[in-house]
Structure 1
Amino acid sequence: MKKCISIVLLIATCITYSQKKTNGTIYVEHPAITTVEAMTQAFVSGDENKVASYLADDFKSYSGTTTNKDDKGMDKAAFLKTVKTWKDNIDYPSIKRSKGAYPDALEYKDADQKDLVWVQTWEDVKGVQKETGVKIDRPIHRLFTVDKNNKIKMMINYSTSTVNDEINQSYADRKNGEIYNHHENINTVRKMVHAFENKDFDKAYSFYDEKATFMDINSIDIHKEYTLAEQKENDKKMFEMFELVSMDQVGYPDYLHYELDDPRIVQSWWKIRVIRKSDNKNIVLPMMFIDTFNDKGKITSEIAYYSQKILEAK
């Protein structure tokens, strides 16, 4: 039995080792990497002639995320035109290695790869589109082949098109919903606020969905969301420290019903007058609420904007 087990283990070990096979060498430093990064910086600086000097005559650029099976890529002449486009349209441009990343140069053993070096990079593309003001800050992964003359023969880009889509859409005006200064959801916010003002807490909380979330910009974790039960406890602590005198509307609330994604939001501004119980100091606290509603007219989330420093001032 022991012999059988030993034979099985030996076979398994042999199979494991036989699954590994080298097919070339990976370099962290290589002339091809130098060429690729030099071309990239020439592109960023808008130096078309310098970019051209790094490209092979039969250079092609491809999108690695296209779904077009007949994509023939961009030739050298077309790619060089993008250098000027970049220079003319992007402020504060940069393409730099992503944090913790570095390029690899790969020399494969395959016969059809003997005159090529593959370079792969991970970088961050940054800038601001001049006309639309859209900020560009996105990662990009690129594959290059570099020929025996140290010229870039091919480039494949892998990146999201989200930023480009936003830039293209920003050239034209587009309506995205409607804004109201009178609406039932505005009425709900006012009723909720004045219920708090009159310490009718059951009524105040009745305007919220039972799964509503709350955010306070003064929280240590600005992304912290509180449940309705947790917010009730937060409010209780606040009322233990402060006597609420009044909550007075400033200007008028806005109700925004957006077309994209269909959110329903009320923005409202208030002066909240309180007395700090520890020293009887009268405090006027400016506050802004952003309340999001569902289609049933219930508040599903609320963000409170105010300065904690005002409440702490001596």
Structure 2
Amino acid sequence: MKKLFLFTFLLSFGAVSAQKHANGKIFDKHPALDIVDEFTKAYTSGDTTTLKALTTEGFKMYNMMNNDPDYTGGTRRNLMGQAIWLSNNMVNLKIENRPPAYPDAMEFKDGPVYVYTYEMMTGFDKNNGFKINTPRNSTFIFDESGKKINRLLFSDNTAHFQKYSDSRETKTNGTIYKDHPVIAKVRLAFAYLETGDLDKAFEGYNEDARIYDINDPDQSFISLAAHKEKLAAFMDMYEIVYIQESGYPDVLDYEGDGKVIISWWDFMLRHKKTGKEVKFKSHNQHWLDDEGVIWREDAYYNAALMQE
């Protein structure tokens, strides 16, 4: 039995070993790496003369994230057009190694030299300030001479570049309402808060609503129950003299993302112990779900004014 086990083990080991077969070499220093580095610098600076010198006449580039069955890639002319546009519109455009990664050159036994890069593309549009910050992985395939780039396969964040494309257009994202029935939920909340009735003030809120207070040192959301406890403790110290609407609330009815009510309020408080009066302004944002129930509130005001 022991002999059978040993024979089986050796047979398995031999089968695994037999699967290994070298098909080339990997280099972290190679003339092709220098060519790719020169290519990248020319691309980001708009140096079309160098790009033309480093690529073959039949050069093609392909975005590996494109799944259009009719996609045919881009030519050397497209490459140079991209480089010119980027150099004319981008500030501090860079394509650099993404640490700890570094490029590799691969020499296959039967085939061209490949260079693989793992980089970050960064910069910003000088016309609208949109910031490019995306990983970019590329495969450069050289011609038979190993001196010119014949193919470029790259992948990057297509959603990021779609957002960049959108930033150069004029698009609507919903409707703004000066008057709308849902505003009543916010007006009632502040009206009942002024009377001190916290249960009534939060009737329009989901019981799982989240509350964000800009003055919270943790800068995190708290539950509605915890928020009501904080308000109750606060109202033990202060009397609310009035809460007055400033200007008028707006309802932002986003396309596909529900509604947000933004509003501005003037508060006047009186400290119950000292009689000191405090006035401050508050900006609030109330987020509504599809049923018109408040599921989130953000509050922005200067709490330092209420320090004793």
TM-score calculated relative to the size of structure 1: 0.85
1:296 has 2:291 as partner: yes
Tell me the secondary structure at the aligned position of residue 150 of structure 1. Answer: coil
State the 1:41 CA deviation: 1.4
Deviations 1:58-96 (A, max 9, x none): 321111112233433222223212221212232332222
Provide the rounded CA distance (Å) in 2 between the counterparts of 1:15 and 1:311: 78
1:159 corresponds to: 156
* Over 6 Å off, 4+ runs: none
Query: Against the structure 1 CA distance between its residues 74 and 208, is the aligned structure 2 distance closer, same or farther, given a 3 Å change threshold?
Result: same
Provide the rounded CA distance (Å) in 2 between the counterparts of 1:29 and 1:53: 22
1:106 has 2:106 as partner: yes
Query: Against the structure 1 CA distance between its residues 76 and 196, is the aligned structure 2 distance closer, same or farther, given a 3 Å change threshold?
Result: same
2:76 corresponds to: 76
Letter in 1 for 2:82: T
Provide the rounded CA distance (Å) in 2 between the counterparts of 1:215 and 1:163: 28
Deviations 1:88-114 (A, max 9, x none): 2323322222243322222223x1x1x
2:178 corresponds to: 181
1:305 has 2:300 as partner: yes
Q: What is the percent sequence identity of the aligned residues?
A: 31
1:210 has 2:238 as partner: no
Q: Would the aligned equivalents of 2:178 and 2:250 in 1 still touch at CA under 8 Å?
A: yes
Provide the rounded CA distance (Å) in 1 between the counterparts of 2:270 and 2:37: 63
Query: Against the structure 1 CA distance between its residues 69 and 10, is the aligned structure 2 distance closer, same or farther, given a 3 Å change threshold?
Result: same
1:265 has 2:260 as partner: yes
Within 5 Å, give how 1:199-278 maps onto structure 2.
Answer: 199-222=196-219, 224-240=220-236, 242-259=238-255, 261-275=256-270
**Unpaired segments ≥5 residues, structure 2:** none
1:193 has 2:190 as partner: yes
Q: Which moved more, 1:262-271 or 1:53-62?
A: 53-62
Letter in 2 for 1:300: W
1:91 corresponds to: 91
**Unpaired segments ≥5 residues, structure 1:** none
State the 1:289 CA deviation: 1.0
Query: Against the structure 1 CA distance between its residues 99 and 71, is the aligned structure 2 distance closer, same or farther, given a 3 Å change threshold?
Result: same
Q: Would the aligned equivalents of 2:173 and 2:254 in 1 still touch at CA under 8 Å?
A: yes
State the 1:197 CA deviation: 1.9
Deviations 1:156-189 (A, max 9, x none): 1212333443344445433332211221221110
Within 5 Å, give how 1:31-42 maps onto structure 2.
Answer: 31-42=31-42
Q: Would the aligned equivalents of 2:124 and 2:131 in 1 still touch at CA under 8 Å?
A: yes
Deviations 1:229-250 (A, max 9, x none): 3333333444455444332222
Deviations 1:133-165 (A, max 9, x none): 433222211111134342222111212333443
1:129 corresponds to: 125
Letter in 1 for 2:212: M
Letter in 2 for 1:267: I
2:278 corresponds to: 283
State the 1:266 CA deviation: 0.2
TM-score calculated relative to the size of structure 2: 0.87
Provide the rounded CA distance (Å) in 1 between the counterparts of 2:18 and 2:303: 66
